[in-house]
Amino acid sequence: MKLLCDENIPIDISNNLSSKHKVINVSQKFQGITDEEVYNIAYKNKMCIITSDHHFDRYKNRKHFGIIRIIGNLKDANKLINKVLSEYKKNMENTYIKISNEGYKVDINKHSKLKRKLRKQEYKFLDSK
């Protein structure tokens, strides 16, 4: 999967994710760009955005190739992000996921081809150690 890590994602997280995914970290390639520019780069290149910026909530109803928003300070961010990515394999299109230490919430927007009843779900991490 292609991932675009926002500037607020620590470099060690993006480096760890790069062992399984194609990752670009905004702070290394596009430092100082706006949220809109991050969204446009991700959309143009069919990339999933990983961020902790709550301003990306405004993009969840637009067409996109996935947005994962980290809430709070994750104890084991790499493990939890990889767990979510493994469940969604290669198709994060129009899927917005908020991850916290307790679990994650999935919100699939109207542009998705999934049935309406599957659009909003919450999951708890059973073994987040």
The reported pLDDT for the residue numbered 122 is 73
Spell out, as residue ranges, where the chain has pLDDT lower than 70.
Answer: 90, 113-120, 126-129
pTM score, whole prediction: 0.88
Instruction: Count how many Cα atoms sit within 13 Å of the Cα of residue 66 in the half-sphere of its side chain.
Output: 21
Cβ-contact 21, 3 below 8 angstroms: yes
Helix (H, G, I), strand (E, B) or coil at 76: coil
> Across the chain, what does the average pLDDT equal?
88
Name which of 49, 55, 62 is nearest 97 in CA terms.
49
